[in-house]
């Protein structure tokens, strides 16, 4: 299997894993193709309901990481938050099944629709993120979780400096080494400038919160313009809540398309405002936090693409070179409009 091919389950593997659960007679099993290609999923229908079986990606399968994610999900469910329900294994009641180095989770299947890009659903995505941060506030003192975010990471800088060979070997590369050098230098300087701006406001002194750390439309399900389920807690972290706010504002306002070369340079300002307004309607936010949103969006844009490009030269199905060119256009737009975005977020 190459890094571009999605991971799949073997028949024997499925039989062994599902034998750990008390599901009754299984009626059907079918591939569920959404999400990370490194984390295969299948939809299971049995006499006891509908379920989703997931094998964690190797980079997310460390047992302590999984335990923390499950503890957060259970806490949220008890608080009435719309997290998906974990199904315990037969006998010991644990929500982790491990076979050799692979870790499996089984979830109750929650029906819902994908994000429709409406202002109403965008606002509710902000409301639910604020609810997550509020509901988990009491976990912070006792939670031995994993700290970190996309902010001010040496690994992002080193990745930008070293990704040239991967991009040069990709079919989409134009052969212009000078343009590639200029592009990566722009991104490196933009990342440094954004990190400096955030640090100057004092972000490291702000309280830490449990962050979902992957708050984007693909991890939320909707019905009647409201969030009915939040999925994929694989990246849960302990850090300042504004890391989630900024990434969520970016993910729910970005304007995309079939090919990154054709993506518009700007963000959808109505959706940006709706997301922030939804969050602040539920949880008070300092003006200083909202001032860091545009530079953190720049850091998130860059940080999200570095690892996959340095590994494969691509971001999903897209050429890494074209993605970086698109990111440059987005960053230039954010820099040019950051005062307006801050004013919109603060409500002035």
Tokens found for residue 80: 């009435």
Is residue 5 included in any domain, yes or no? no
Give every CB contact of residue 346 below 8 A, 6+ residues apart in sequence: 287, 290, 291
CA distance 148 to 240: 9
Is residue 57 included in any domain, yes or no? yes
Give the bridge partners for 254, in sequence order: 267
Number of domains the chain contains: 2
At 85, which CATH number? 3.30.200.20
Task: Among 84, 108, 132, give the residue marking a domain's end.
Answer: 108
Count other Cβ atoms within 10 Å, centred on residue 157.
17
Q: Are residues 252 and 332 in the same domain?
A: yes
Task: Among 71, 89, 108, give the residue marking a domain's end.
Answer: 108
Q: For 138, left (φ over 0), alpha (ψ -120 to 50), or beta?
A: alpha
CA distance 287 to 285: 7
Q: Are residues 104 and 147 in the same domain?
A: no
Q: Are residues 104 and 123 in the same domain?
A: no
Give every CB contact of residue 138 below 8 A, 6+ residues apart in sequence: none
Task: Among 89, 108, 127, give the residue marking a domain's end.
Answer: 108
Q: Are residues 86 and 220 in the same domain?
A: no
Q: Are residues 136 and 242 in the same domain?
A: yes
Indicate if the alpha-carbon torsion angle 216, 220, 223, 228 is positive or negative.
negative
Q: Are residues 328 and 200 in the same domain?
A: yes
Q: What is the dihedral of CA 294, 132, 144, 108, to 10 degrees?
A: -120
Q: Are residues 94 and 45 in the same domain?
A: yes
Tokens found for residue 327: 């990111």
Q: Are residues 142 and 162 in the same domain?
A: yes
CB 105, CB 232: distance < 8 Å: no
Is residue 114 included in any domain, yes or no? no
CB 227, CB 216: distance < 8 Å: no
Q: pLDDT per position in the chain (348 positions), as tens?
A: 344 678 899 999 999 999 999 999 999 999 997 767 788 999 999 999 999 999 998 877 788 889 889 999 999 999 999 999 999 999 888 999 999 889 999 999 999 999 999 999 999 999 999 999 999 988 875 665 678 899 999 999 999 998 888 788 776 777 778 888 999 999 999 999 999 999 999 999 999 999 999 999 999 999 999 999 999 999 999 999 999 999 999 999 999 988 998 999 999 999 999 999 999 999 999 999 999 999 999 999 999 999 999 888 888 888 888 999 999 999 999 999 999 999 988 875
At 307, which CATH number? 3.90.1200.10
Identify the domain containing residue 36 by its residue range: 11-108
Is residue 2 included in any domain, yes or no? no
Q: Are residues 42 and 125 in the same domain?
A: no
Is residue 83 included in any domain, yes or no? yes
The structure's pTM equals 0.94
Q: Are residues 98 and 127 in the same domain?
A: no
Tokens found for residue 191: 């990342």
């Amino acid at each position: 299997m190459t890094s571009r091919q999605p991971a799949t389950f073997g028949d024997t593997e499925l039989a062994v894993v599902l034998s750990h659960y008390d599901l009754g007679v299984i009626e059907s099993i079918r591939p569920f193709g959404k999400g990370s290609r490194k984390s295969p999923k299948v939809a299971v229908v049995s006499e006891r309901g509908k379920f989703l079986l997931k094998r964690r990606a190797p980079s997310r399968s460390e047992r302590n990481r999984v335990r923390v994610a499950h503890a957060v999900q259970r806490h949220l469910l008890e608080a009435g938050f719309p997290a998906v329900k974990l199904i315990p294994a037969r006998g010991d009641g644990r929500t982790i099944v491990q076979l050799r180095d692979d870790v499996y989770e089984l979830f109750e299947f929650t029906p819902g629709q994908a994000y429709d890009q409406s202002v109403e659903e965008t606002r509710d995505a902000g409301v639910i993120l604020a609810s997550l941060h509020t509901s988990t506030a009491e976990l912070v003192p006792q939670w031995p979780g994993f700290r970190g975010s996309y902010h001010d990471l040496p690994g992002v800088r080193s990745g930008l400096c070293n990704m040239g060979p991967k991009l040069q070997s990709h079919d989409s590369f134009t052969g212009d080494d000078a343009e590639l050098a200029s592009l990566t230098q722009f991104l490196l300087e933009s990342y440094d400038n954004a990190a400096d701006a955030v640090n100057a406001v004092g972000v490291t002194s702000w309280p830490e919160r449990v962050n979902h750390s992957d708050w984007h439309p693909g991890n939320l399900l909707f019905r009647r313009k409201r969030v009915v389920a939040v999925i994929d807690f694989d990246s849960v972290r302990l850090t300042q809540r504004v890391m989630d706010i900024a990434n969520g504002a970016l993910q729910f306002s970005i304007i995309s398309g079939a090919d990154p070369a054709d993506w518009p340079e700007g963000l959808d300002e109505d959706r940006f405002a709706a997301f922030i307004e939804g969050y602040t309607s539920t949880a008070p936010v300092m003006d200083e936090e909202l001032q860091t949103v545009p530079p953190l969006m720049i850091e998130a844009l860059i940080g999200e693409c570095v690892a996959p490009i340095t590994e494969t030269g691509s971001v999903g199905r897209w050429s890494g070179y074209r993605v970086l060119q698109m990111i440059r256009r987005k960053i230039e737009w954010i820099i040019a409009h950051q005062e307006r975005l801050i004013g919109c977020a603060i409500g002035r």
